[in-house]
Amino acid sequence: MQRRQFIQGMAVAGLGATLPWSLASAVNAVQQAVSVNSLPKLVGELTLYLGRGEGGLYENVLEAIKKRNPQLTLNIRRGGTAALANTIVAEAQAGVRRADVFWAVDTGAIGLMTDEKLAQPLPDDLTEQLKPGFQYAGWSPVTGRIRTLPYNTERVTAAQIPDDVMALADSDLQIGWAPAYASFQSFVTAMRILEGEDATAEWLKGVSGHAKSYAGELGVVMGVERGEVDMGFANHYYTLRLKAGKPDAKVDLAFTKNDAGCLVNASGIVALSEGDLPVNFIRYLLTQEVQSYLSSEAYEIPLVKGVAEPQGLVPLNTLSPPKIDLRKLADIRPTLNLMRKVGVL
């Protein structure tokens, strides 16, 4: 779906939205994603802090929302997710509120908002649209991403990839990783929470002995496909995007079970000011149109009921991610200290 088609489609869908607002009854009736046709128009001024991510696709969503809602003045402050989260906390401590909504590409930053008690509660009819396991009172996941093991199909077979991420420390596989990348650091944070600091330190030391570093996880996947390494660590969508543009790419996905190697993380959004406008803005991100767009174009996992998952990914319900409160991934400082201590940062 091209950017112009998506924006025009959102605008056209909004032209028929003349019926009274009754989202709760719509959700109860169909138990699936709500269309923009069911949403009220957004009127007023809203300031969004937007964590950078997804190559401009989030910007396309915002442009479509603005086009459908000409009476909305949307002020956007862009930056790194962690930096914006720290800014919001600093502003709150100074008695200033500049952001009405915060859209973060990583739930660790959302955890900081809830820990600081800056998040406004969301109504039940909004959270009930989300899949089980992704329903939170103080924030809303938008789309998911799962940790995967992309591997080169000419160098190794799927049977050679362990389904226990901890076993990779002692394997003879050549591994690609991006230790400075935020998604990798969230993965290590999950490992530290699940396995303990000592086991995580030993794992980092073990893997570093046969790992090649890349600047980011797209680079990891491309390195795997070129045969520079046997396998790597990356979010699922980098491989799906590569294969979409290069169907004969020599890369496929393997998954671990019940550990940090199969962590399902999410982008998330939180309302920071009271009132209907921030909440109704969040509703737009959970619509059939937006969720489908991010699934088909960004290859992210829709977390609203009734929206198809991205092509090329095994169904989410067939995987075995660990049970972890995603907000705990906000505790990143001990992870960075650990990674520096063992010499991988």
Instruction: Summarize the annotated binding site as residue ranges.
Output: 237-238
Could you tell me where the beta strands, DSSP code E, fall in 40-192?
44-51, 72-79, 101-104, 140-152, 175-177
DSSP 43: -
d(CA 51, CA 104): 5
* Binding site, annotated residues for Fe cation: 237-238
Q: Which residues pair with 243 in a beta bridge?
A: none
Distance CA 324, CA 138 (A): 17
Q: Is 126 left (phi over 0), alpha (psi -120 to 50) or beta?
A: alpha
Sequence-separated (6 or more) residues with CB below 8 Å from residue 199: 166, 191
Distance (Å) of CA 60 to CA 65, 67, 294, 308: 9, 11, 10, 20
Q: Which of 22, 48, 51 is nearest to 37 (CA)?
A: 22
> β-pairing, 234-235 with 140-152?
antiparallel
- Provide the strand spans (E) within the chain: 44-51, 72-79, 101-104, 140-152, 175-177, 211-213, 231-232, 234-235, 251-254, 264-271, 301-302
Residue 323 CB burial class (10 angstroms; 0-12, 13-18, ≥19): exposed
3-state DSSP of 289-321: HHHHHHHHHCCCEECECCCCCCCCCCCHHHCCC
Which helix (H) or strand (E) segment holds residue 15: the answer is helix 3-15
Q: How far apart (Å, rounded) are the C-alpha atoms in residues 109 and 147?
A: 18
Q: What angle do CA 14, 16, 20 make, to 5 degrees?
A: 95
